[in-house]
Amino acid sequence: MSVPGIDTMHIPRDFHPLMLALARGGAALASVIRRGGANLGAEVGTNSDGDGQKRLDVQADALFRDALKGAGLRWYASEEQEDPVPMQDEGTMALAIDPLDGSSNIDTNVSVGTIFAVYPAESGPAEASFLRPARDILAAGYIIYGPRCCLVVSFGEGTQFYTLNPDTGCFDLTDPRVTLPDCSFEFAINASNYRHWPRPIRAYIDDCLAGLDGPRAHNFNMRWIASLVAEAHRILMRGGIFLYPADARKGYERGRLRMLYECAPIAMLIEQAGGRATDGALPILDATITQLHGRTPLVFGSSEKVDRVAAYHDLPEGEVSALFGNRGLFRA
């Protein structure tokens, strides 16, 4: 009989207890989601950031907090908790987690996920473990609850991919080293915010939309699932680019996505798979995390596409607005 958990063959020994706990928590949440019902998508409150909390957000937070007891953590910092929760005094790691990502999709039976990042636990107040250079991350991953439940994780040497076997409750290894394909012509952005975007983002998307007749001389396809985890998984599997820029709406001056438990871990997984993740110009992992629930614009995917977005930011303002349709520099 196999033990529920995860195939630990490629996981560094120090992370075994933590990964087993995360895998068991993920498998348990997958069955809650599979069963549905019980008004999982009902709004039950607001978190410290002012975002609506769904019943499943709160349930997922409690489930992981419980599953992670005894797994070697000093601190547990969650999207759903204002402050980090102390775990074990002797814990050597600090975990940041978005227990349920993509919660607007709960009621519609579209993929949702869990994102996590592991930092070394520092002595002193909890903030010392989390407010630090993003490159200090020891491990990062996500679990996607889709038609299949999968776990994708990096310990700094490549990105590993596991799939949950529902018969055994074990995440089996699917691919020990995922490589992000760079041949896709797919972009993901919430286009309803077009009028609020900064000019370089508008110009980049305008050029994609112009297709064969535009400066990129290629037809593009568009996707928007409104689940960061689902977009990240699609891009890891078949390439493309994701953009959640800052925009002119109140409260979106730094975009929507949170640095500590959304952008930094996704950036590590993407970089470790050979892709790139920036705030539009600078690498996400080169930034320092300054606020527990702070946000950052996020652009990630195939390196060449992410670099191209940065090049649009480098163009003089006049050129971005005046030369649409004539920027030979940007031919695909």
Ligand X SMILES: O=P(O)(O)OC[C@H]1O[C@](O)(COP(=O)(O)O)[C@@H](O)[C@@H]1O
Q: Which residues are annotated as a binding site for substrate?
A: 101-104, 190
Q: Outline where DSSP puts E strands in the chain.
A: 5-6, 43-46, 52-54, 73-78, 85-86, 93-101, 112-120, 139-145, 149-154, 159-165, 170-175, 186-188, 221-223, 241-244, 276-278, 298-301
Query: Is 85 or 225 the residue whose CB approaches ligand X more closely?
Result: 225
Q: Does 98 bind Mg ion (CB under 5 A)?
A: yes
Tell me which of 18, 22, 57, 186 is the catalytic residue: 57
Query: At which residue do the structure tokens 């985890």 appear?
Result: 229
Binding footprint of Mg ion, residue count (CB under 5 A):
4
Q: Specify the stretch interacting with ligand X by CB under 6 A; choose among 21-29, 120-128, 146-154, 223-231.
A: 223-231
- Per-residue binding string, ligand X, 175-214, x by CB under 6 A, is ---------------x------------------------
Catalytic, 262? Answer yes
Annotated binding site for Mg(2+): 79, 98, 100-101, 262
Query: Is 154 or 227 the residue whose CB approaches ligand X more closely?
Result: 227
Write 78-87 long-range contacts (CB < 8 A, 24+).
78/261, 79/47, 79/49, 79/51, 79/258, 79/261, 79/262, 79/293, 80/47, 80/53, 81/47, 81/48, 82/47, 82/48, 83/126, 83/292, 84/126, 84/127, 84/129, 84/130, 84/292, 86/126
Tell me which of 7, 14, 49, 51 is the catalytic residue: 51
Site residues (CB under 6 A) for ligand X, limited to 244-303: 256
Residues found near ligand X in the complex (CB under 6 A):
51, 79, 98, 101-104, 190, 226-228, 256
Tell me which residues are annotated as active site.
51, 57, 79-80, 98, 100-101, 262
